[in-house]
Amino acid sequence: MLKNSSNILYDGTPRIMKKKQQTTSWGGVADWYSSYLETTEDSYQKQVILPNLLRILDSKSGMKVIDIACGQGFFSREFAAAGAEVVGADIAQALITQAKKLSGKTVQYYVAPADNLNFTKSGVFDAATIVLAIQNIKNIDGTFAEAKRVLKPGGKLVMVLMHPAFRIPGHSSWGFDEETKEQYRRVDSYLSAQKAELFVHPGKEGSAKTISYHRSLQDFSKSLCKAGFAITRLEEWISHKQSQKGPRQETEDRTRKEIPMFLMLECKST
């Protein structure tokens, strides 16, 4: 629980919304997503992203963190457990309901779109995070502008996303060269911004869909600069998975270590 919430949050009266209430494709899969994160020990979230994120964020007692597009609060809870005072926000009421059930009073949660954090004052957080969510957000300019607004001068934004140079929905895939017996990553399109519908359970009839937006590295760089951020650290994180024994195991494991799955950007408010 935030110790000095009166210094951070408005007194229950939100600022006037600047635009119509938005919706998200993730609200309809809230139960599945929550169950997956809570019961899957071998997930990328637990094995790759969380330990690296805690290292980058370096939470200290009293550090104020806002987890933007927090989903069901998986990372929000971990930040709080590390000593930070945490606020989480997500556009999906269903995900925030799950977050509140799982977190108790350790984190304060609010229903709000990433580009209009209407519940909070300006310049009060030491750090902001956007974890595996920016690719699901249409208005990145507004999102980065809001992150800049709520951060203290010199505060940092830590963002983790599927690597946009190698993970382009509908335009990237794994291939295998029969002549060289090597696995490779095929990329058919990169610079063009794109919107795609993704099946939550590919191959399953009636599977729910979510919306994903692809942007290039320069798209992110330009938008962050426009909002008043400077990129101060960039890391590329690989999958922790290993292939089962077989004729392609060696090349699959090797390329998995060479082609990063996630991109981390640390950005300082200038």
Q: Is-above-0.95 flag for pTM?
A: no
CB neighbours (10 Å) of residue 63?
17
In this prediction, residue 9 carries a pLDDT of 60
* Rounded CA separation 157/12 (Å): 26
Q: What is the pLDDT along the chain (270 residues), one digit of tens a residue?
A: 555 554 556 434 344 334 444 455 545 565 666 676 677 888 999 999 999 999 999 988 889 999 999 999 999 999 999 999 999 999 999 999 999 999 988 999 999 999 999 999 999 999 999 999 999 999 999 999 999 999 999 999 999 999 999 999 999 999 999 999 999 999 999 999 999 987 655 656 665 678 899 999 999 999 999 999 999 999 999 999 999 999 999 999 999 999 999 999 999 998
Which of 10, 116, 110, 127 has its CA nearest to residue 65?
Answer: 127
Would you state the pLDDT for residue 91?
95
Which pLDDT score is estimated for 22? 47
pLDDT (0 to 100) of residue 192 = 97
pLDDT of residue 28: 56
Q: What is the pLDDT of residue 203?
A: 54
CATH architecture of 5-168+215-246+260-269: 3-Layer(aba) Sandwich (3.40)
Q: Contact at 8 Å (CB) between 64 and 128?
A: no
**Nearest-5° angle of CA 45, CA 51, CA 52?**
95
What single letter denotes the amino acid at residue 176? F
Q: Mind spelling out the 3-state secondary structure of 218-249? A: HHHHHHHHHHCEEEEEEEEECCCCCCCCCCCH
Q: What is the pLDDT of residue 32?
A: 61
Q: Angle 93-103/74-81 helices, nearest 10 degrees? A: 30
Task: With CA atoms as reference, report the closest residue to 130 among 66, 77, 72.
Answer: 66
**Residue 3: predicted pLDDT:** 57
Domain ranges of the chain: 5-168+215-246+260-269
pLDDT of residue 17: 38
